[in-house]
Amino acid sequence: MSAALHRGTAYAEAAAKVADRQHTPAIALKAVSKAYPLGRRRGELTAVEAFDLTVERGEFVALLGPSGCGKSTVLRLLAGLEEPTAGTVLIEGKGPADLVASRRLGVAFQEHALMPWSDVWHNIALPFRIAGRTVDSGRVDELVELVGLRGFEKARPKQLSGGMRQRVAIARALALDPDVLLLDEPFGALDAVTRRRMNFELARIWADAGSTTVLVTHDVAEAVLLADRIVVLTGRPGRVRHLEHVDLPRPRPAEVTRDPRFHEIVDRLTALLDGPAT
């Protein structure tokens, strides 16, 4: 093989790999089921069953469904905190453990789990220390600015409001520039006014960060405001019942919540959730 032909072949193979990566979805759950044993004589509880979902790179997807339908189980499977009983869970074509090991997965739960003895700046810097990396001070400063906490760097969690603590948790989840961000009811404990304000904050943060994001929420309007697509689950065991493409332009300012199209989507999804759960 001539040198020119060899170079051409190598280039074609490299281009094929790039093209393949570009077409690999960020997240793919295929025929996923998860069952939990209840004891020797009580059988098992199936949280999700035959669950299929694909999420594209940079997409924001929200999971909606009745309590106990397996939304958080799906997130735990994506985070590598649970193993599926059946089916496959892939993130960027590999198992979640690969993304976790390379620190490219960010997670924020309803309980912010901040270190109470540490200030805002060092809570955000924590992922660097856990990963054994030198703390990137510039990146931490950038995240403080991104979540609107400039001036509160030295404040401890007890000195912050609930919304501010959640912003710290989201900033910490973004510290290592994750490819995928998982959010499990991050604003569930907040009052309605603060939650609405945080929705717009999260939309801004997501637009700037560009991470593929999966949000679990019980709030239909929150899902419609934030997501590109909404997945409605059945009652337990959770399956995909409905996929809603949110055809609203971005960015979505406060005025969008007065748009008739916004209310049409909210009403349609609410009626679906209020109907039979299966």
CATH number of 41-104+184-190+210-278: 3.40.50.300
In whole angstroms, give the CA distance from residue 120 to residue 113.
12
Q: Output the DSSP codes for 54-111.
A: EE-TT-EEEEE-STTSSHHHHHHHHTTSS--SEEEEEETTB-HHHHHHTT-EEEEESS
pLDDT band of residue 19 (cuts 50, 70, 90) is very low
Distance CA 241, CA 232 (A): 6
- Average pLDDT of span 1-16: 49
The residue among 114 and 278 whose pLDDT is bigger is 114
Q: Does pLDDT of 40 surpass 90?
A: no
Give the confidence band of 12 by pLDDT, cuts at 50, 70, 90.
very low
Q: Which residue has the higher pLDDT, 133 or 17?
A: 133
Output b/e per residue, 178-188; b: 16+ Cβ within 10 A. bbbbbbbbbbb
* 102 vs 99: CA distance, rounded Å: 5
Q: What is the pLDDT of residues 191-234, one digit of tens each?
A: 888 788 888 888 888 888 888 999 999 999 999 999 999 999 99
CA 209 to chain centre: 12
Average pLDDT, the chain: 86
Answer whether residue 4 shows pLDDT above 60: no
CA distance 65 to 68: 8
Assigned token pair, 4 = 């020119």
Is the overall model pTM greater than 0.75, yes or no? yes
pLDDT at 45 over 50: yes
Tokens of 167: 């912003």
Distances in Å between the Cα of 52 and the Cα atoms of 20, 132, 208 are 21, 36, 29
* 155-182 average pLDDT score: 88
Once rounded to an integer, what is the mean pLDDT over residues 132-141? 91
Strand 212-216, strand 60-64: pairing:
parallel
Virtual torsion, Cα 187, 188, 191, 193, nearest 10 deg: 50
Furthest C-alpha separation in the chain = 69
Confidence of residue 11 (pLDDT cuts 50, 70, 90): very low
Mean pLDDT of 246-262: 92
Classify residue 168 as exposed, middle or buried by CB count within 10 Å of its CB (0-12, 13-18, 19+): buried
Taking residues 106-115, what's their average pLDDT?
A: 80
pLDDT in tens, 175-202: 888 889 999 988 877 788 878 888 888 8
Residue 116 preceded by cis peptide, ω within 30:
no
- Is 273 in contact with 220 (CB distance < 8 Å)? yes
